[in-house]
Structure 1
């Protein structure tokens, strides 16, 4: 017996915004509709996917005018405090700022606290600022699954600067570096220990290093850390002088030298625009985004296709007990889709 649509479900369907509704709301800078558009593109519901794709296609001509800045740092580096101070600086300069703050999801329940907005109360109360916390939901790279889509929506809504806060620090942060124009690494004083444990891959990606908490008794330690980064960077990464990240100190808590961080970001982006690298980076980022979507959709097909599901348990059992090599198991799963990787 199939369930018939109830009067309530029909009413809800009639009241669902269309792609036109979302588009006009975003054009009108309606923050309520903007939040609903973020929820739409983050949804995994099949009925939302088509609307989201239509909306993004229509919004594309309105995107690309914002400056995209990724911000990462180890736990305790003060990312939320810094972003609030940084965002307030930009708002006072007449800019509209959107913050896409990614909170780590629980590996057990999948839940997320989504507390970034509550930690940025002053910024969230500004009419020219918008903070969107999203769960990482297990996505690698320090970003949520649909951060790129949310970034485009924010750009279409007229925000001048998009700040993407990552869940932490590590080599998987390549993803956020691969969707932004400038990548800021927020560091703590005491670089001696930190340089030993910091990921080499991160230093190869960042455009600006800001040693935070450079105030009070930490001021000397922060300046020492900055000098140590200067001395160690060439030997660690081998980057050329003209591509070396700017290194400076600041204090988000005391609102000291935050403007210098902004000037360093502006300078890096200006140099890239003058050389033509800015636009080339964005084009390459779009290509990598394309193939990331292809890989995600292929993975989804492999996990949901009936023919694959019919043999999946047997293949996994054989791989677990050692009677089938993983490569052979993968080939069998592909064969269920009439695909042979060796012939592709």
Structure 2
């Protein structure tokens, strides 16, 4: 059996006869070439040092051409119909003249080391549209690594001319916080029948929401949907007012009939206008950029420590002491950091 290509094992980009230069990636992305856009995003996902350096050059060159989109985060419990909503709402955005990119983020993919491959099959109609681009969740790595890859994909998609970026949470749990840190507007999808959901919904997720869409609000669900909307509005009133003055609205929707989708579009446009006028939109982008820098710095420090060969035996010794209960995890982490800095 022939040996496996180490570049493929490392998640490298050695899939063609010749590596593209940074200039070729940049030109392809800027011209809206979706094949090269996909290759550039794959490049950012590689763990090989040479690919990471090339990806950094591409991102740096694309950065001045990014930032002109509205980034929309979409989350909701399983079964709420995120993909169906995105496909229908995406069609509305296309009709309004927008170019849209759909990115999925799933921090839980760390467990399986695999990407979510079903995004395009779940949005068959949208994936065939010329002005729509759908990208599966980045594969493997830590939640922080998945988030970084998605942030870089946003920059590349914006540089390619997409002016509406939809970021969907696929996993459940920490994905909401990660997505909120990289979008301008955070849309929470909920089902009719609010009672049980409100009891199980994390307070923080509802506080993060800039808007709530109640899905599947037709076909016999009208009464339950209206009751749910009233419950959600009452729940939102219990939260302290946001510092930017925006109050989240609750809208009844149906992806199947199109009910409420135009209202969601108007909500987004009103938000963009109001937040741009107040300066909050720009301030939020700036604070997110600093947050990304700090998050990536923490990831770099952690990776450098874990990859340090001189620290392996010392780390193993600390691990044994922690598992034996003779050393606290916190003290062990501090000792490992000091050892790495001194080595």
Judge conservation of contact 2:80–2:190 (CA < 8 Å) in 1: yes
CA deviation digits over 1:34-61, x for unaligned, max 9? 0001101111221211001111111111
Judge conservation of contact 2:114–2:139 (CA < 8 Å) in 1: no
Give the whole-Å Cα distance in 1 for the aligned partners of 2:132 and 2:323.
51
Judge conservation of contact 2:25–2:58 (CA < 8 Å) in 1: yes
Give the whole-Å Cα distance in 1 for the aligned partners of 2:333 and 2:271.
44
Partner of 1:268: 271
Asked if residue 289 in structure 1 is aligned to residue 289 in structure 2, the reply is no
Runs of 4+ in 1 over 6 A off after TM superposition: 11-14
Judge conservation of contact 1:71–1:183 (CA < 8 Å) in 2: yes
SS at match of 2:256: coil
CA deviation digits over 1:74-105, x for unaligned, max 9? 00010000000011101111111010023465
Tell me which of 206, 209, 215 is aligned to 1:206: 209
SS at match of 2:101: strand
Judge conservation of contact 1:102–1:135 (CA < 8 Å) in 2: yes
- Over 3 Å counting, the alpha-carbon distance change for 1:266 and 1:42 in structure 2 is same
Judge conservation of contact 2:108–2:171 (CA < 8 Å) in 1: no
Partner of 1:239: 241
Partner of 1:8: none
SS at match of 1:146: helix
Tell me which of 250, 262, 265 is aligned to 1:259: 262
Give the whole-Å Cα distance in 2 for the aligned partners of 1:320 and 1:147.
35
Judge conservation of contact 1:190–1:225 (CA < 8 Å) in 2: yes
Partner of 1:85: 88
TM-score for the superposition, normalised by structure 2: 0.90
- Over 3 Å counting, the alpha-carbon distance change for 1:60 and 1:142 in structure 2 is closer
Structure 2 alignment gaps of length 5 or more? 6-13
- Over 3 Å counting, the alpha-carbon distance change for 1:143 and 1:44 in structure 2 is closer
Partner of 2:97: 94
- Over 3 Å counting, the alpha-carbon distance change for 1:335 and 1:104 in structure 2 is closer
Give the whole-Å Cα distance in 2 for the aligned partners of 1:142 and 1:91.
31
How far is the alpha carbon of 1:137 from its aligned partner?
3.2
Judge conservation of contact 2:148–2:296 (CA < 8 Å) in 1: no
Give the whole-Å Cα distance in 2 for the aligned partners of 1:316 and 1:281.
40
- Over 3 Å counting, the alpha-carbon distance change for 1:139 and 1:314 in structure 2 is closer
Partner of 1:280: 283
Structure 1 alignment gaps of length 5 or more? 6-10
Judge conservation of contact 2:99–2:161 (CA < 8 Å) in 1: yes
SS at match of 1:337: helix
Tell me which of 171, 174, 177 is aligned to 2:180: 177
Judge conservation of contact 1:171–1:202 (CA < 8 Å) in 2: no
The count of corresponding residues between Structure 1 and Structure 2 is: 331
TM-score for the superposition, normalised by structure 1: 0.90
Asked if residue 54 in structure 1 is aligned to residue 57 in structure 2, the reply is yes
Give the whole-Å Cα distance in 2 for the aligned partners of 1:251 and 1:12.
42
Tell me which of 95, 110, 113 is aligned to 2:113: 110
Give the whole-Å Cα distance in 2 for the aligned partners of 1:221 and 1:142.
40
SS at match of 1:126: coil
Give the whole-Å Cα distance in 2 for the aligned partners of 1:221 and 1:289.
40
Asked if residue 26 in structure 1 is aligned to residue 29 in structure 2, the reply is yes
